[in-house]
């Protein structure tokens, strides 16, 4: 089984990124042929600073490796280093419905927030995401709940292409974790924890120092009434229960049982201690890895070479099927 997923280098990585994506990436190394991409081209679709973009790319690479990705056991690369992604995106655009792109909720969410320019790239973003995945004949795409619509679109693109040009592309499946797929803001538990659209106190970053982790979790919004139980009427407590369930590797019901008689303060204190212990190894390993940019660059370059060896034959078959370029010899 081949697994592929991409992660944006924008912003500091938070607990939602870590639980919803990065932990899934590490687990993927055990289940199949895993390929992971730092999607710097996608980061160009919204306002960005060129210097910061490059630094954030190295930050992301270091966090992924610190969390447990082993470049010897998976392929880790920078999207812009594999040109096949861009060409395949253009070719797939010819079988992508304009109406489908209009319905993408992430475009509707992000477009109003762009002060200077709503770029065509932001609108076309889902097609490039489809190319990222389809280039590798991917079977499984580990994503958060918010990316489900994009995976459905890439599945439709693959089916449309195959129906018109012959069986060429693999139709991938989404893999969304049952618990932790949507970690909410600690200060506004009705909104997802976000890299860009959240408060500092509501966002728990992977690299936060232990004292900051403790402060943010102890100040997390709970709900009126008592009881450590999951409920639509208790979004704050539900969010904290889900976080601890992921950290412990248990079902949320086990957390409810363990804290059935606990007060909110005691529950938050236990949560802070366990989340700190959970994140500390990655934070410490990151501190060792991040200063060595040459090493990170070498790992990304090696990953790109290995990725191209897989993506190039797919692109060649797509070109041949579509009649693009010289005929095969």
What pLDDT score was predicted for residue 280?
96
Express as a percent the part of the chain with pLDDT over 70.
98
Whole-model pTM?
A: 0.90
Q: What is the pLDDT, as a whole number, of residue 198? A: 61
For residues 229 and 237, the answer to whether their CB atoms sit within 8 Å is yes
82: left (phi over 0), alpha (psi -120 to 50) or beta: beta
CA–CA separation, 100 vs 114, rounded Å? 21
Give percent of the chain with pLDDT exceeding 90: 74
Q: How many residues does the chain have?
A: 329
Residue 186 has pLDDT above 70, yes or no: yes
Confidence of residue 313 (pLDDT cuts 50, 70, 90): very high
User: In the predicted model, what is the mean pLDDT of the chain?
Assistant: 92
pLDDT higher than 70, residue 197: no
| More confident site: 266 or 147 | 266
Per-residue pLDDT tens over the stretch 4-31: 999 999 778 999 889 888 988 999 999 9
Q: What is the pLDDT of residue 176?
A: 80
Q: What is the CATH number of domain 2-175+292-322?
A: 3.40.50.620
What integer pLDDT is reported at residue 179 of this predicted model?
62
Instruction: Indicate if the pLDDT at residue 165 is higher than 90.
Output: yes
Which tokens is 226 given?
């008592």
Q: Report d(CA 187, CA 197) in Å as an integer.
A: 12
Q: What is the residue-wise DSSP string for 149-195?
A: HHHHHHHHHHHHHHHHH-S-S---EEE--SSSSSPBPSS-TTSB--S
Q: Which residue has the tokens 């949560």?
A: 271
| Residue showing tokens 């499984």 | 140
Q: Domain 210-287 is of which CATH architecture?
A: Orthogonal Bundle (1.10)
Q: Would you say 275 and 247 are in contact if contact means Cβ atoms under 8 Å apart?
A: yes
Domain ranges of the chain: 2-175+292-322, 210-287
Torsional sign, CA 260, 264, 270, 271: positive
Using one digit for the tens of pLDDT, what is the confidence trace for 70-112?
999 999 999 999 999 999 999 999 999 999 999 988 887 787 7
Per residue in 108-150, pLDDT (tens digit) is 778 777 777 888 888 999 999 999 999 999 999 988 777 889 9
Confidence of residue 181 (pLDDT cuts 50, 70, 90): low
């Amino acid at each position: 089984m081949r697994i592929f997923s991409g992660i944006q280098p924008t912003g500091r990585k938070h607990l939602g990124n870590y639980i919803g994506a990065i932990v899934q990436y590490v687990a993927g190394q055990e289940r199949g042929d895993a390929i992971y991409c730092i999607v710097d081209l996608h980061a160009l679709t919204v306002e960005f600073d060129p210097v910061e973009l490059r630094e954030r790319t190295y930050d992301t690479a270091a966090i992924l490796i610190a969390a447990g990705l082993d470049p010897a056991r998976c392929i880790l690369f920078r999207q812009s280093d594999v040109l096949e992604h861009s060409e395949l995106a253009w070719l797939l655009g010819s079988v992508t419905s304009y109406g489908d792109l209009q319905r993408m909720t992430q475009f509707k969410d992000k477009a109003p927030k762009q002060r200077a320019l709503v770029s065509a790239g932001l609108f076309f973003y889902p097609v490039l995401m489809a190319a990222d995945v389809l280039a590798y004949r991917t079977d499984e795409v580990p994503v958060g709940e918010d990316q489900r619509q994009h995976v459905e679109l890439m599945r439709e693109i693959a089916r449309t292409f195959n129906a018109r040009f012959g069986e060429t592309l693999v139709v991938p499946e989404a893999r969304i974790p049952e618990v932790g797929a949507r970690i909410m803001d600690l200060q506004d538990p009705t909104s997802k924890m976000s890299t860009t659209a959240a408060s500092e106190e509501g966002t728990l970053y992977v690299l936060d120092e232990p004292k900051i982790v403790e402060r943010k979790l102890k100040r997390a919004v709970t709900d009126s009434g008592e009881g450590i139980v999951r409920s639509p009427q208790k979004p704050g407590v539900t969010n904290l229960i889900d976080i601890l369930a992921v950290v412990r590797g248990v079902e949320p019901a086990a957390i409810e049982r363990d804290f059935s008689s606990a007060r909110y303060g005691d529950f938050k204190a236990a949560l802070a201690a366990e989340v700190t212990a959970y994140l500390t190894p990655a934070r410490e390993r990151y501190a060792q890895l991040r200063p060595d940019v040459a090493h990170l660059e070498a790992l990304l370059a090696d990953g790109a070479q290995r990725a191209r060896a897989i993506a190039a034959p797919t692109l060649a078959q797509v070109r041949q099927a579509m009649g693009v370029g010289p005929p095969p010899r």
